[in-house]
Amino acid sequence: MAADSMEIDDSLYSRQRYVLGDSAMHQMAQSSVFLSGMGGLGIEIAKNIVLAGVKAVTLHDTKQCETWDLGSNFFIRDEDVLSQKRRVEAVCPRVAELNPYVHVDMSSSALDDNTDLSFLRKYQCVILTEARLSLQKRVNEFCHSQQPPIRFIGCDAYGICVRVFCDFGEEFEVSDPTGEEPKEIFIQTISQDNPGVVTCMDNQPHGLQTGQSVVFREVNGMAELNGTSRQVSVLSPHSFAIEDTSGLQPYEHGGFFVLVKTPKTYRFETLERQLCDPQVLTPDFSKPEAPLQIHAAMLALDTFQEQHSRLPNVGCLQDAEVLLKLTQEVNATLRNKASVNTELVRCLSRTARGFLPPLAAAVGGLASQEVLKAITGKFAPLQQWFYLDATEVVRPLQSLSAEEFSPRGDRYDGLRACIGESMCLELQKLRVFMVGCGAIGCEMLKNFALLGVGSTKSSGEVCITDPDLIEKSNLNRQFLFRPHHIQKPKSTTAAEATCDINPDLQVDAHLNKVCPATENIYSDSFYSRLNIVVTALDNVEARRYVDSRCLSNQRPLLDSGTMGTKGHTEIIVPNLTESYNSHRDPPEEEIPFCTLKSFPSVIEHTIQWARDKFENAFVHKPSIYNSFWQTHPSAEVVLQRMQTGESLEGSFQVIKLLSRRPSQWEQCITVARLKFEKYFKRKALQLLHSFPLDTRLKDGSLFWQSPKRPPAPFDFDLTDSMHFTFIVSTARLFAETYNIPYSEKDLSEEAVARVLSGVRIPEYRPSQKSIETDETAKKPDHSKMPLSSEEEREAIIQLEQAIATDNVTAERLRMSPLQFEKDDDRNGHMDFVASASALRARMYSIEPADRLKTKRIAGKIIPAIATATAAVAGLVALELIKVVGGYEFESFKNCFFNLAIPVMVLTEPAPVKRALIRDNIYFSIWDCWTIFGHEDFTLSDFMNAVREKYGIEPTMVVHGVKMLYVPVMPGHSKRLKLTMQKLIRPSVDRRYVDLTVSFAPETDGDDDLPGPPVRYYFSRDGETP
């Protein structure tokens, strides 16, 4: 977004626009940021804010590249170390490459206690990393004293501890603290009282808080409320009070209200003032004192550096005791404090020279979001400290010798100082399978590269797969990709970029989906070679499938996801935790068929209607047409079979399409004009004919009352740009599906008007067909409905005519189904959906949506931003270290965060549930009993084998949905003599099947007991029979 033109490049920024909104994007495009410190934390922040699209960033650093940097800074390469480049010179061009709209420059001037700070006045936000506390205080005081204040952020990462501090001035106004989109809530009643009580329709929760304001619209009766804003006092989740309504007209029906977003002012203190009485965010409620404990320990570390001009030495017990004593002294001076955590201080002392890349990624994501808040005023800022520690990562390693953590002069020295040499080697030996190479996938690969996961020399490997190609909109957050990679595969491109960061890695890139169809590739033997599976997916179904494969193959799974500024991580460890499939989110509510077809009430309904029209006309019907003529290649044979009374599925629809098929561009315009007439005039006239405005229900209430809106038909007007867009986009899409050529000249208003002047619109006559009003009714499938004799006759006549007029050629028996593509503005897809939705909204007096919102809803776009993606991937990579170390259940953490508010909550995963079968025989989802058979092994042999091996009597055996043995079923007792091979009929390459077996209860009359799956191998050694 070049600041001069202020145009937002939607092809690049679309997913982020849905998170931040255009106003914030424009403010970013006019903001300059100063970022000091090009270590691992600084480069994370640089990456995220440049991807986001600020106007200019100055990167500042005074150090030279060292081998150590290769393990913390993903933009420093071996050659930079060899040529002794300055860090800032090495990273500046690589950061600049991330976004052509951002001006990135560099500085390597001294920044210390003697520097004249006036040069900072040209920046809106200043971020310091790797800076001593005395310098942070000095720069913060300068920034705070400016008019307007320069927003200041200080970030530090020392070994297992990280901190972020924010000071945005004494009065910082935030336009939108949460970023949540206000919903329209329909009204059931409003009392004529003091105060008036508003009740929501269908007990819908209003989600309001006392003191907020709402605006009323379309209220009938108490019309004085319309367009006014009223403060609310919440009475229940479904009702609230407003001021006196006793003097207003009585409420009749209808109307809705919407929350009014009000700006909020936040007050900040300087770093100096906040040191003694810190205001902190608590991420982990299992250790609520941790933030204050880390605060004291890190302040003591600052004092240690001032006194010794160095950090504590790795494994030096004397330094640890000095730091502990300093922490106690610092803690005594704090007003807001907790008890000193000795273990934390000793861990910090031992690891302070080290660096944990995933921890920097997690906090770098959060800090970057604070930068964006500082320059846009969008979302609630951090007040004022954020602390996070990774004590759980290093706690089990404390008994190791100091030598484990000593530097060896390679890229892993920073990591080694935190987790030791043995754990570094374990990471390098890892065999990881990552599914998905989008935004989270790119961030995960960066973490793998810095951690050395899957190193060639240790026989490790990272296998990645993703069938997608790179689109321009990916570049805004999938930071391993550049413009010249567009239309190349994500997985192979990401693999190359990962090996650039760390050439030691072995990355095997595939282009496959992971689903039942690829089980021949991602087979059990494939999973048996893995140590861990990571998902970087964007849909629940794929996660469920991968989870089921990890469950049956006893492999740990690390899952994460984001939506806008929200993120979650979930850690699944065999025999310790529940699996992903152990919990299910409620299914998404579907819009009732009758609402979409006839009674829309909100803009989402009209957008979904337009999307359905696209799918039906340009995808579904052409696909049915093609498959019908592939099945029945001869029209003459179809005619003969229909004449003899044979019913062919889909024939009526297909023949209607053939007989009405346009063959010229002008006919496509005509079809589009008739569609306009049908959708926006006749549909409304028919509804008002069936249900006149004064129609009443059996209880005497009006039929047309909220949320039902009566439609208002309108005439076609070529001078209305929305009408014109609908005609042209509809005609284009029909031309493409029917393979009809057209030129740019054909799309001009003049050419279209000439064709339209000759279109004859038949006179409207109301029909007597019934209109569906039942909200539970489903959409009928016309292709499967039996034809009436009249429809059959009509189809036969139409086909006879088509054959007689030589209209049945190979070309005419073929159509080109489209695939909805929301991101290409040249193809007319979004033109059709946006214009159709807007015209229907106009017909029903629904507040319209702009093209951006329409695109998000129609394309089911998940809002996304690099800050949240970086944070989840960092949190997942921290858990990966614990999984590799075989840590206890208490060490693991799931996380939910919302960077907008900001809130981060770390919790223990759900422990695995163990079900008692009987007599101390338990099982969990991770258990799988095994029976090895052979070619002649019978069902009876199987039952006996289970009884002998596990001591329980099987009563029922089921394979998938097929019942192999249920004693009460007729003829099932005879099956006992049949071989398992014959009963199951496995495919040639099948080694085993998982069977569901029920067991006899202890006392008669009780229900059968469920057990774990019983894996039956068809041969004794488990090989393919």
Give CA–CA dist 390/879, Å, rounded.
10
Dihedral sign computed on CA atoms, order 572, 575, 580, 586: negative
- Least confident residue range of 9-18, 34-43, 273-282: 9-18
pLDDT for residue 4: 39
User: Mind listing the pLDDT tens digit for each residue in 389-439?
Assistant: 999 999 999 889 989 999 999 999 999 999 999 999 999 999 999 999 999
Residue 1025: which pLDDT band, with cuts at 50, 70 and 90?
very low
Q: What is the overall mean pLDDT for the chain?
A: 92
Alpha helices in 267-376 (DSSP H): 271-274, 290-308, 317-333, 342-351, 357-376
Residue 782: which pLDDT band, with cuts at 50, 70 and 90?
low
Mean pLDDT of 192-217: 91
Is pLDDT of 2 > 50? Answer: no
Residue 788: which pLDDT band, with cuts at 50, 70 and 90?
low
| HSE toward the beta carbon, residue 945, CA cutoff 13 A | 19
Measured in whole angstroms, how far is the alpha carbon of residue 826 from the centre of its chain?
27
Which residues sit opposite 685 in a β-bridge?
none
% of the chain surpassing 90 pLDDT: 74
How many residues in total does the chain contain?
A: 1025
User: Mind listing the pLDDT tens digit for each residue in 281-295?
Assistant: 998 888 899 999 999
Torsion of CA 697, 702, 707, 708, to 10 degrees: 80
What are 133's two structure tokens? 């506390």
For 784, residues 6+ apart whose C-beta sits below 8 A from its C-beta are: 649
pLDDT for residue 5: 46
Give CA–CA dist 948/929, Å, rounded.
12
Distance set, CA 620 to CA 628, 636, 733, 857 (Å): 12, 25, 13, 20
Cβ neighbour number for residue 749 with a 10 Å cutoff: 12
pLDDT for residue 360: 97
Q: Of 92, 166, 515, 594, which one is the catalytic site residue?
A: 594
At 199, the amino acid letter reads T
Beta-sheet strands, E only, within 67-160: 103-107, 125-129, 151-158
pLDDT for residue 1019: 86
Q: What one-character DSSP code corresponds to residue 159?
A: B
Residue 1004: which pLDDT band, with cuts at 50, 70 and 90?
low
User: Mind listing the pLDDT tens digit for each residue in 116-151?
Assistant: 999 999 999 999 999 999 999 999 999 999 999 999
Pairing label, strands 385-389, 280-281: parallel
Beta-sheet strands, E only, within 481-563: 507-510, 532-535, 557-563
CB 431 within 8 Å of CB 533:
no
Is pLDDT of 461 > 70? Answer: yes
CB 400 within 8 Å of CB 422:
yes
CB 337 within 8 Å of CB 296:
yes
User: Mind listing the pLDDT tens digit for each residue in 807-830?
Assistant: 788 888 899 999 999 988 899 999
User: Mind listing the pLDDT tens digit for each residue in 481-540?
Assistant: 999 999 999 999 999 999 999 999 999 999 999 999 999 999 999 999 999 999 999 889
Exposed/middle/buried for residue 841 (C-beta within 10 Å: 0-12, 13-18, 19+)? buried
pLDDT for residue 298: 97
CA angle 831–835–841, rounded 5-degree value = 150
CB 1013 within 8 Å of CB 929:
yes
Give CA–CA dist 7/9, Å, rounded.
6
Is pLDDT of 3 > 50? Answer: no
pTM of the model: 0.90
Is pLDDT of 103 > 90? Answer: yes
Is pLDDT of 1 > 50? Answer: no
User: Mind listing the pLDDT tens digit for each residue in 930-980?
Assistant: 999 998 999 999 999 998 988 888 888 998 888 888 888 888 888 999 999
Exposed/middle/buried for residue 616 (C-beta within 10 Å: 0-12, 13-18, 19+)? exposed
pLDDT for residue 635: 85
Evaluate the omega torsion of the peptide bond into residue 707 and state whether it is cis, within 30 degrees of 0.
yes
CB 352 within 8 Å of CB 130:
no
| HSE toward the beta carbon, residue 809, CA cutoff 13 A | 7
% of the chain surpassing 70 pLDDT: 97
User: Mind listing the pLDDT tens digit for each residue in 630-665?
Assistant: 998 788 888 888 888 888 888 888 888 888 899 999
pLDDT for residue 985: 87
pLDDT for residue 771: 78
Is pLDDT of 599 > 50? Answer: yes
pLDDT for residue 284: 85
Q: Is 668 a catalytic residue?
A: no
Dihedral sign computed on CA atoms, order 453, 457, 462, 467: positive
